[in-house]
Structure 1
Amino acid sequence: MTFAERMLKIDRRIIFLVIGLCTLLPLLYPVGLPIRISPEVHGVYDYIESLPERSVFLLSIDFDPASKPELHPQAVAILRHAFRKNLRVIGMTLWVSGTGMADELISTIAKEAGKERGVDYIFLGWSPGGTAVIINMGQDLYTTFPSDYGGHPTKGQPVLDGVNSLRDVAYAVSLGAGNPGVEAWYVFGKDKYKFELGGGCTGVIAPGLYPLLRSGQINGLIGGLRGAAEYESLVGKKGRAVAGMDAQSATHLAIIVLVMLCNVFYFTTRRAGRLGQGR
């Protein structure tokens, strides 16, 4: 049996092992391959970068743990950027199933940045009503959220000084995995109360939101893990998203190489068979 024939009959478990290593190693030891930054991701980054210190930034974490692999890195990168810019961060969620995760996320990044709850940031939590919550916040923030997620009265907290409704928000970003999400924030929020809006979403949802982006209804869009990796690169703190893109690139490269080798071995054995018959 020739070498090419042995390779074509290789144990499939070896192939699984190669793919597994190509996925695991970049996650453990990220390379940080160059990533081209798209204009839509730049739109969100540039707007946050342009905000004066102590501007009010609202981040709506509209996803649950099922979408965490794609949207959690987006939230981490945006929060790091907002805290670095010394913005006042208002966190909330329209998804009750993601409330605990969202609170832990904001608290962790705030602690990393040395920010104080109630002074530099607040997590309002979740309130029943879906899109009605957005409308109510546009009329009166304090009747919608009389207390924050920790049970402390929202009125009087320094982080909300001068903030009465969504009209006082300088910039809002919704990281959505479905409905309610980015579209709801535009229809029931920005369109009514005239604040600037950016968005983030899972990769599968992104194509459906491009009409909002192209029409200027949102000023930027972070799509999937790739978008999160782009934002991490802009912030200058590469994390899980960049590592995930490294793993994806390495796995794709391994598959391409394996397909090419299989074709080479196949045509080699086929040619050898024809030569054998000719003799």
Structure 2
Amino acid sequence: MIAPEYLRHVDASPARAARERYRAGAVEPTSGVAPGFTQANMIVLPRDWAFDFLLYAQRNPKACPVLDVSDPGSHETVLAPGADLRTDIPLYRIWRDGKLAEETPDATAAWAEHADLASFLIGCSFTFETPMIEAGIEIRHIIDGSNVPMYLTDQPCRPAGRLKGNMVVSMRPIPASRVADAATISGRFPAVHGAPVHVGAPELIGIHDLSKPDFGDPVRIEPGEVPVFWACGVTPQAAVMASGVPFAITHAPGHMFITDIPDSAYHA
């Protein structure tokens, strides 16, 4: 966990400016926004489900690396003092009985339905995209202005309490000659999913059509490129669906919470 004192020495104005836009109603995928600042997935659950999820995350750290957990009833995080988790993500999802009930740019009304909600902020692979770009590796969804493609695999997570589900992965096409570099760079960020979980042969993890992602947008794969897959923080949403969770709030896939923490803080 990042100590609050750490942020006294960080100029987080780009991250704050992005959150202010989202609080005012702007909606956009956040890959490439406020480069250099760590982004996070989010799942919010009533206290009754919070321990189950904490155990689920502990048992599946590759897919669910926890960066912060709020106190029940709080909508704040030490990762961005002054931020409001109810409004500062560009797009939210509201879940009821394991089904997507609503997408909204403001979760305040849904948040008010429960007085004991606990928020989990989970590492996001967008964090290591900036160092990959700096190393000369093109990130296709940023270049094309689209959302990263994400797929539900057939790889089961380890269940915990009432929660079960399969891993979700994000995919980036990488030139074959740079796959090792991409794996090395991302591997230096274990707190935000780290190295890839699979390279090539998507059918081996239950993905049969890369042009039809379960979340996000399809991207071009050029000749000589290889699909590379990273564990994804949308995995908790797959658990919500598979487990029939009565109530949850999450980010919409690709629409993250931008923290005040520099990516370098999570560099191993």
Q: TM-score range by the shorter chain?
A: under 0.3
Where relative contact order (Cα < 8 A, 6+ residues apart) is larger, the structure is: 2
> TM-score if structure 2 supplies the norm length?
0.26
Question: Which one has a larger percent strand, Structure 1 or Structure 2?
Answer: 2
